[in-house]
Structure 1
């Protein structure tokens, strides 16, 4: 696949109705910057809940509407079971999972199989989320650029730039260059997870090229490139090229656990112990987990090869005294039980479906790959928060648009090798009804 992607997303001037709606979607997404002080979800989520009232009237495919109703039903049953048992609701996690479903449902009404609408909404969400992160941290005693980027603004800004570049139809080489630049900048800012997502996205984009005579060579080359990148970046981190802070942290985490990855996420043994004690109904409120479970988790950590309890237990507790599992999947399962984990598991499925099946010639592929990898990381290694909830919901909206990408490629025709022919500039897939 050379040059730019062969299936564009830009609407034509004849689509005046869509043109009028796009600024409104940008403004709607921008409401992610607004959040009442006492509520852990943004105004954007509340507006999505209002839009849901129109879902029964929306013309959406059964394949995307049915999972929404299934997720909504599981949350309703979970809520009723908690109320009937008189158990604590664990409101924070329940609210964040509900936010994901609300955004997904509202997208079925607003986007209507239109990828230009998704780009507009993503621009607004990215700007709003970045502004919220900057405004929330600005003025605090510990505020600095590194914390602002790492704890909120970095990922939304990446999505914003990607959305604008994809909207303009830039060549693939610029997308790859952007992602490598983001990876290097993230390492200097001690933001290793974003660097991992950026480099991984480039490797997936290379491996996901068109299937043909050179497909195996491309896949093998991407695997070799991944090993080379891992080796070089690890050595550069250890030698302090990206700063002494990152080098010391990498060394400390490597010494703390059986591997650098598990050393950076010491909550894994705690999560296993907490979930295994109540796998079906969960604890409701993680603050109710007794000390005996903590002791069982410590024993498990010792058996896995973690360092002394004094070293890893400091990451197990929040400043308020509760426990921290630092994983959307584990937090949902531990607090809400097997029904509560349905939402993050479905988001995980949607991300995997996008990674494996999004058409390689589609212009949305870079956004799809980056968002899928970022959300997978958040599901496994990040706690529930406003940003992860919003972008998990946006991922489900993107997943709902994948069949349209398949349709556009069919409408553009296929060449002798079964791949889409090049589309003339200025011709949009969205103009074919």
Structure 2
């Protein structure tokens, strides 16, 4: 007598629960938003893909921003600053020409910045800090395809920021700091060899702060945000003079040495010699302390005053650069602080300073708590540098967006530390990038 095994019924696939399906959709949406914000892909008439996503995802990111300190203040005040640029333009229209397209584009740039911060902050709550930075870095890399490569210095003007952010975002998944420090050292060397002096200095300062944080943790030394800010200042000044000494000694090549020496001889320092736009900013500030407007075009009086200010730093402004780049279409003084002031008035200057302070204090708090990742430190330092010395364009906007988003602290951080039971078990870590 033969026995037959009972037939097994096929196992039906277990359907995803509605809440899991919803969570999966949210994670995909957050990743797509990060790539879009990082790439700022153009759509039409000055509009971009992330701006359209910001409208569609507003019900998700606006409530998320409210859970972070100063989050709501940043994006609401940013919209107020947009209005300030429009009002200032109207006030200056009596003796200046107005370009409506310029007004539209400048306004959208600022709207894109504040909504981009909002979506990145929301992404932190959905997929975590490290994934947010990684997908954002992917967007930065993809943006090179439509922005093109600058032939004058491809690394400095095109590849530097996307590469640094991508490499440091990948190393954030490693628990050890040694690999991260090696990555920082290699990125600093590449930047120095490609005549990107400021980038090399910033990366080396970030490496110094990471090492200091490691030493503090080993010695179990506690610090405060205020003391860490003082440390930032000391390390930055030391790093500046150390890098200048290396350059002048010829360690970074003869071309860099000759250019730096000429800048020092011309105006007394590498900063003012390399940034003659500072003279133009001061001269324009004296002419119109309230700014010029986001749609205002330069008149002959502004142009002559700006040239005189640059000439006071022993710079010859009659070389086409001033007319074509700085004032060919509005006002460009090679500084986020200066550009926000000229385009959006006093409120614009205050706004960008507030963003820089938020970034710097947020990063200092992470260092004081031994939680700062190399990427966070690089972004914070680069954002502060851009505030003083970089124009209001794609790269500086990209750095400022992710720097602000990653250094905002949740309102629940302090409450969670004192009442752990009040924090939902499913909530993502406060700063998983800071491992």
Residue matched to 2:138: 127
The 5 Å alignment of 1:71-82 reads 71-75=77-81, 77-78=83-84, 81=87
Query: Are the aligned partners of 1:326 and 1:381 in contact in 2 as well (CA < 8 Å)?
Result: yes
Residue matched to 2:400: 392
- Separation of aligned partners in 1, 2:61 and 2:109: 21
- Separation of aligned partners in 1, 2:208 and 2:26: 35
Instruction: For residue 381 of structure 1, report the CA deviation from its aligned partner.
Output: 0.9
Candidates 246, 250, 259, aligned match of 2:256: 246
CA RMSD of aligned residues (A): 4.1
Residues 184 and 86 of structure 1: is their aligned pair in 2 closer, same or farther, counting only changes over 3 Å? closer
Question: Residues 182-219 of structure 1: CA distance to partner in whole angstroms, max 9, x if unpaired?
Answer: 11110101111211110121233344545966979999
Residue matched to 2:298: 289
Residue matched to 1:196: 201
| TM-score normalised over the length of structure 2 | 0.74
Residues 404 and 299 of structure 1: is their aligned pair in 2 closer, same or farther, counting only changes over 3 Å? same
Query: Are the aligned partners of 1:33 and 1:129 in contact in 2 as well (CA < 8 Å)?
Result: yes
Structure 1, unmatched stretches of 5+, are 1-14, 414-427
- Separation of aligned partners in 1, 2:129 and 2:62: 21
Q: Which has the higher contact order (CA 8 A, sep 6+)?
A: 1
The 5 Å alignment of 1:203-352 reads 203-208=208-213, 209=216, 230=240, 233-285=243-295, 288-301=297-310, 303=312, 306-310=313-317, 315-319=321-325, 321-322=328-329, 324-352=332-360
Residue matched to 2:119: 106
Residues 249 and 70 of structure 1: is their aligned pair in 2 closer, same or farther, counting only changes over 3 Å? same
Q: Please say if 1:379 is aligned against 2:387.
A: yes
Query: Are the aligned partners of 2:65 and 2:72 in contact in 1 as well (CA < 8 Å)?
Result: no
Equivalent pairs counted in the alignment come to: 393
Instruction: For residue 252 of structure 1, report the CA deviation from its aligned partner.
Output: 3.0
Residue matched to 1:416: none
Query: Are the aligned partners of 2:277 and 2:310 in contact in 1 as well (CA < 8 Å)?
Result: no
The 5 Å alignment of 1:65-214 reads 65-68=71-74, 70-75=76-81, 77-78=83-84, 81=87, 87=93, 88=98, 90-112=103-125, 116-133=127-144, 135-138=146-149, 143=151, 147-169=153-175, 171-208=176-213, 209=216
* Counterpart secondary structure, 2:339: helix
Residues 391 and 203 of structure 1: is their aligned pair in 2 closer, same or farther, counting only changes over 3 Å? same
Question: Residues 118-142 of structure 1: CA distance to partner in whole angstroms, max 9, x if unpaired?
Answer: 322221221221232255325xxx6
Instruction: For residue 237 of structure 1, report the CA deviation from its aligned partner.
Output: 2.3
Question: Residues 343-389 of structure 1: CA distance to partner in whole angstroms, max 9, x if unpaired?
Answer: 31221121121232225445453222211111111111111112322
Query: Are the aligned partners of 2:223 and 2:368 in contact in 1 as well (CA < 8 Å)?
Result: no
Query: Are the aligned partners of 1:283 and 1:334 in contact in 2 as well (CA < 8 Å)?
Result: yes
Residue matched to 1:11: none
- Separation of aligned partners in 2, 1:135 and 1:74: 31
Query: Are the aligned partners of 1:159 and 1:367 in contact in 2 as well (CA < 8 Å)?
Result: yes
Residues 214 and 67 of structure 1: is their aligned pair in 2 closer, same or farther, counting only changes over 3 Å? closer
Instruction: For residue 160 of structure 1, report the CA deviation from its aligned partner.
Output: 1.5
Instruction: For residue 289 of structure 1, report the CA deviation from its aligned partner.
Output: 2.7
Q: Which moved more, 1:81-90 or 1:128-137?
A: 81-90
Query: Are the aligned partners of 1:162 and 1:367 in contact in 2 as well (CA < 8 Å)?
Result: yes
Query: Are the aligned partners of 1:49 and 1:106 in contact in 2 as well (CA < 8 Å)?
Result: no
Structure 2, unmatched stretches of 5+, are 1-19, 422-427
Query: Are the aligned partners of 2:137 and 2:169 in contact in 1 as well (CA < 8 Å)?
Result: no
| TM-score normalised over the length of structure 1 | 0.75
Residues 137 and 232 of structure 1: is their aligned pair in 2 closer, same or farther, counting only changes over 3 Å? same
Residues 199 and 402 of structure 1: is their aligned pair in 2 closer, same or farther, counting only changes over 3 Å? farther
Residue matched to 1:52: 58
Instruction: For residue 159 of structure 1, report the CA deviation from its aligned partner.
Output: 1.4
Larger Rg: 2
